[in-house]
Amino acid sequence: MALEVYDAFGDWKRARQGADPTAHVAFVPTMGALHRGHADLIRRAQQEVGPSGHVVVSIYVNPTQFNDAADFEAYPNTREVDLRMAESAGADAVVFPQPHELYPGGVPQRVPPVDYGGLTALWEAAHRPGHFDGVVAVVRALFRQVEPNRAYFGEKDWQQLAVVSELVRREFPDLTIVPVPTRREEDGLAMSSRNVRLDERERGGASMLHAALKAVAAATETVTEVRRQSSLLEQAGWSVEYLAVVDSVTLDTHWELGRELRAIGAAHFGGVRFIDNVPVPN
Ligand code: AMP
């Protein structure tokens, strides 16, 4: 079947009116500029819902989650490539929502603050004020439009995954969130829509954050290794925002025995901000 493309959720819903109500809907929300990481999410969705299900991808660059206006303005827009990529990964439909479908009163300057404890206070939340308020606002609105059975999120944005899981636990109890592992370039750099902005020098050094996280995850003396890797990054011209080993669910640095842990980090190199994370082996 050919890919269906809609420029509003209203059109998608009209087209779905005759659809089998028991067919599962798998949802992949994105901001476009699709790469192979996004394709993994779509492919996984397609595998899980099967031929009778419906895989819908949304593409919407959500202004309320950008804490940096220049970053929003410069966000890449590659509609035609995105459509080809979504189709070949197995999407049934791609929707470009109208802003009023997500923000009925118009896109606000500020959305209501969200308090999920440490999840919305630590790490990314501390360094990108308001970011998760915008993420929660848009993801909630998207889920209300799509009413999916399953929704797919990348582990690349680990804290986002934790925040969205908490939103779902509180407000969408019938929805299953499926985490999908991070797709990387050969040197370990996590794929990201923003990587197209890297110049040669930045691209050359960009995989260092991932290498640092792997070293931290493998170390027995975590604190010493965090310190060592942070200073290695700084010596190479990076500016580290945070590097830490945390409880994978609460993101707290005080973990108990037997909990799953994650090494997480964010740092600037050249003009670019990178985030990444890796599992800590048990
Ligand atoms: P974005 O378009 O950046 O909002 O990302 C849309 C979804 O794709 C989010 O759930 C991201 O976590 C996920 N994603 C982004 N990059 C990757 C990657 N390299 N590997 C796997 N998933 C990713």
Q: Which of 57, 150, 156, 193 to mutate to test the pocket of ligand 1 (most atoms within 8 A of CB)?
A: 156
pTM for the model: 0.98
* 221 Cα to the center of ligand 1, angstroms: 31
User: Is any ligand 1 atom within 6 A of the Cβ of residue 30?
Assistant: yes
Residue nearest to atom 19 of ligand 1 (CA): 191
pLDDT value of residue 214: 98
* 224 Cα to the center of ligand 1, angstroms: 31
* 60 Cα to the center of ligand 1, angstroms: 13
Residue pLDDT tens, the chain, 282 long? 799 999 999 999 999 998 998 999 999 999 999 999 999 999 999 999 999 999 999 999 999 999 899 999 999 999 999 999 999 999 999 999 999 999 999 999 999 999 999 999 999 999 999 999 999 999 999 999 999 999 999 999 999 999 999 999 999 999 999 999 999 999 999 999 989 989 999 999 999 999 999 999 999 999 999 999 999 999 999 999 999 999 999 999 998 889 999 999 999 999 899 999 999 998
Instruction: Report the distance separating Cα 116 and Cα 130, nearest Å.
Output: 13
Residue nearest to atom 10 of ligand 1 (CA): 153
Asked if residue 210 lies in contact with residue 224, where contact means CB atoms within 8 angstroms, the answer is no
CATH topology agreement for domains 4-180 and 193-273: no
Positions marked active-site: 38
User: What CATH architecture is 4-180?
Assistant: 3-Layer(aba) Sandwich (3.40)
User: Is any ligand 1 atom within 6 A of the Cβ of residue 38?
Assistant: yes
Structure tokens at 231: 């200073």
CATH topology classification for 193-273: Pantoate--beta-alanine Ligase; Chain: A,domain 2 (3.30.1300)
Residue nearest to atom 12 of ligand 1 (CA): 154
Placement of tokens 């997480």 in the chain = 264
The secondary structure element, H or E, covering residue 36 is helix 36-49
Phi, psi of 188 (to 5 degrees): 105, -15
41 CA: nearest ligand 1 atom: 22
Instruction: Report the distance separating Cα 67 and Cα 65, nearest Å.
Output: 6
pLDDT value of residue 271: 87
pLDDT value of residue 222: 94
* 148 Cα to the center of ligand 1, angstroms: 18
Long-range contacts: 183-191, Cβ < 8 Å, 24+?
A: 183/35, 183/36, 183/37, 183/39, 183/40, 183/156, 184/210, 188/214, 190/37, 190/156, 190/274, 190/276, 191/35, 191/36, 191/37, 191/156
Cα of first residue to Cα of last residue in the chain, in angstroms, is 44
pLDDT value of residue 282: 85
Cα→Cα distances 269→183, 201, 238, Å: 20, 10, 5
Cα→Cα distances 144→103, 139, 140, 210, Å: 12, 9, 6, 35
Q: Which of 27, 35, 41 to mutate to test the pocket of ligand 1 (most atoms within 8 A of CB)?
A: 41
Provide the residue ranges of all domains of the chain, joining segments of one domain with +. 4-180, 193-273
Phi, psi of 28 (to 5 degrees): -125, 100
Structure tokens at 121: 């206070």
For the chain, counts of helices (H) and of strands (E): 11, 9
